[in-house]
A and B are shown apart, each in its own frame.
Chain A
Amino acid sequence: MIQRRTLDFWVGLFVMAGIAALMFLSLKVGNLDTYGIADSYVIKGNFDNIGGLKIRAPVKSSGVVVGRVADIQFSTSTYDAIVTMNIDSRYQFPRDTFASILTAGLLGEQYIGLAAGGDEAMLKEGDTIMKTNSAMVLEEMIGRFLFDKASEDNDF
């Protein structure tokens, strides 16, 4: 018969290990702690085509994650996609920052890349990025390539 004290010790250790495992899963694997960046500001961008961009996709500048996509909506007034981004307030970007939708690797996830411009004024909460570049859509790219090829051939 096992002693009550040792029993309590092992069960306590077991329960603590279980809770620690759950904490590890939610914080480290599920990344709950950076779910909403604590201090952030919201900017928007209008894109003609967002491709496969998803909510919570990263916003990167020079490869560093500076924010996340908060919301994606379709505008019926301009017929394009409005992407709302939460940007960490440690990072300020000039007004003429260029936003483009890029792909990580050939089959990787899509993210928004920000390339800073030269304007003195900075983007503020709720501002809209003026210069955007849509996602590459493979079919359009191939289509354009074929079209160019055809017009080249006609020159002869």
Chain B
Amino acid sequence: MFKHLAASIRGVGHRTTEGIWQLGHATRFFLLVLLKSGTSFRRFGLVIRELYYVGVLSLIIIVVSGLFVGMVLGLQGYETLQKYGSESAVGTLVALSLVRELGPVVAALLFASRAGSAITAEIGLMKATEQLAAMGMMAVDPVARVVAPRFWAGVISMPFLAAIFSVMGVFGGYLVTVTFIGVDAGSFWSQMQSNVDFRIDILNGFIKSCFFGVAVTAIAVFEGYDSPPTAEGVSGATTRTVVTSSLVILGLDFILTAFMFRGI
């Protein structure tokens, strides 16, 4: 009886220290990546190559999802607002919800599953096939050569992707409410313009997307570099990247929103 109790307590303690140890490991790896980022900027071609795989190839999913999210927002917003006779405020609704929340958050979630998982799988597989070890043998630092360019490519492309997502969403909302339903185009834009503030809404949304970019890519490169060098290990790391990034994005979003819009 007493033995079982002690064992379960030890289990809790073990899991806690393991978690904290892992967190510290991730933080040290993150600092190491930052420390060895010099190469990425001296040889910017490395980052450009990764920008193509991380940013350009994510465009399709970002553009299409942004368009449809905006269209749905427009439809739903119109349905509700017209009950109160203020359907001209639909532009404000679409723009504010996209710029403040949905743009950065949904773009980051899509980015985590589209690009983050690819980064993890690539680095994990390179580790499993001992390409990273081979690089080390040739005195090429794998963190500087492989990890840092991917990290910076993700950090650079995330704000752009979020902005493109928001613009496509506004365009989708415009398409549905103005072109199909027939809300006045003038009041759609003017209500939006008078209620969306550059500093409070757009700049804060941009800052959010920068934070998400750092978080998602840091998690992705860490999971890849840390994955057990087996097929099972790589698949597990890829799954963990998507799950952890999504949770971190949503949690971070709440914290950032609390700071930005409540002025704590």
B-binding residues in A (CB < 8 A): 2, 4, 7-8, 10-11, 13-15, 17-19, 21-22, 24-26, 28-32, 34-35, 56-58, 65, 105-109
Please give the distance in Å from B133's CB to the nearest CB on chain A: 23
In B178-200, the 8 Å CB interface with A consists of 189-190, 192-198
Q: Which of B5-13, B72-80, B108-116, B158-166 binds A?
A: B158-166
Residues of chain B lying within 8 A (CB to CB) of residue A58: 194
Given the contacts A11-B51, A29-B202, A105-B86, A18 and B160 also touching, CB distance less than 8 Å: yes
In the complex, which of the residues A14, A28, A57, A106 contacts B55, with contact meaning CB atoms closer than 8 Å?
A: A14
A-binding residues in B (CB < 8 A): 45, 48-49, 51-52, 55-56, 59, 84-86, 88-89, 95, 99, 157, 159-161, 163-164, 166-167, 170, 189-190, 192-198, 201-202, 206
In the complex, which of the residues B85, B159, B167 contacts A106, with contact meaning CB atoms closer than 8 Å?
A: B85
What is the number of contacts between chain A and chain B, taking CB atoms within 8 Å?
91
Separation of A35 and B166 alpha carbons in the complex (Å): 21
4 further A-B pairs in the complex, CB-CB below 8 A; given A31-B196, A105-B86: A11-B48, A22-B163, A30-B196, A35-B198
Residues of chain B lying within 8 A (CB to CB) of residue A105: 85-86, 88
Given the contacts A105-B85, A107-B86, A14 and B157 also touching, CB distance less than 8 Å: yes
Separation of A56 and B196 alpha carbons in the complex (Å): 11
Please give the distance in Å from A128's CB to the nearest CB on chain B: 25
Given the contacts A17-B160, A18-B161, A21-B164, A7 and B52 also touching, CB distance less than 8 Å: yes
- Chain A contact surface mostly: helix
Residues of chain B lying within 8 A (CB to CB) of residue A107: 84-86
Residues of chain A lying within 8 A (CB to CB) of residue B194: 31, 56-58, 109
Please give the distance in Å from B82's CB to the nearest CB on chain A: 12
Task: Please give me the residue from chain B that is nearest to A4 by CB atom.
Answer: B45
Separation of A107 and B195 alpha carbons in the complex (Å): 15
Separation of A30 and B95 alpha carbons in the complex (Å): 9
Residues of chain B lying within 8 A (CB to CB) of residue A10: 52, 56
Separation of A7 and B52 alpha carbons in the complex (Å): 7
Residues of chain A lying within 8 A (CB to CB) of residue B86: 105-108
Please give the distance in Å from B67's CB to the nearest CB on chain A: 13
B59 & A30 in contact (Cβ 8 Å cutoff): no
A19 & B160 in contact (Cβ 8 Å cutoff): yes
Given the contacts A7-B49, A11-B55, A29-B99, A21 and B163 also touching, CB distance less than 8 Å: yes
Given the contacts A30-B196, A107-B86, A7 and B164 also touching, CB distance less than 8 Å: no
Task: Please give me the residue from chain B that is nearest to A35 by CB atom.
Answer: B198
B51 & A26 in contact (Cβ 8 Å cutoff): no
Residues of chain B lying within 8 A (CB to CB) of residue A21: 160, 163-164, 166-167
A26 & B198 in contact (Cβ 8 Å cutoff): yes
Task: Please give me the residue from chain B that is nearest to A1 by CB atom.
Answer: B49
A-B complex: 6 closest residue pairs judged by Cβ atoms: A18-B160, A31-B193, A21-B163, A30-B198, A21-B167, A21-B164
28 contacts between A and B (CB under 8 A): A4-B45, A7-B49, A7-B52, A11-B48, A14-B51, A14-B52, A14-B59, A14-B157, A15-B51, A15-B160, A18-B157, A18-B159, A18-B160, A18-B163, A18-B164, A21-B164, A22-B206, A25-B166, A29-B99, A29-B166, A29-B196, A30-B193, A30-B196, A30-B202, A31-B194, A57-B194, A105-B88, A109-B195
B164 & A17 in contact (Cβ 8 Å cutoff): yes
A106 & B84 in contact (Cβ 8 Å cutoff): yes
Task: Please give me the residue from chain B that is nearest to A34 by CB atom.
Answer: B193
Residues of chain A lying within 8 A (CB to CB) of residue B89: 108
Separation of A155 and B161 alpha carbons in the complex (Å): 71
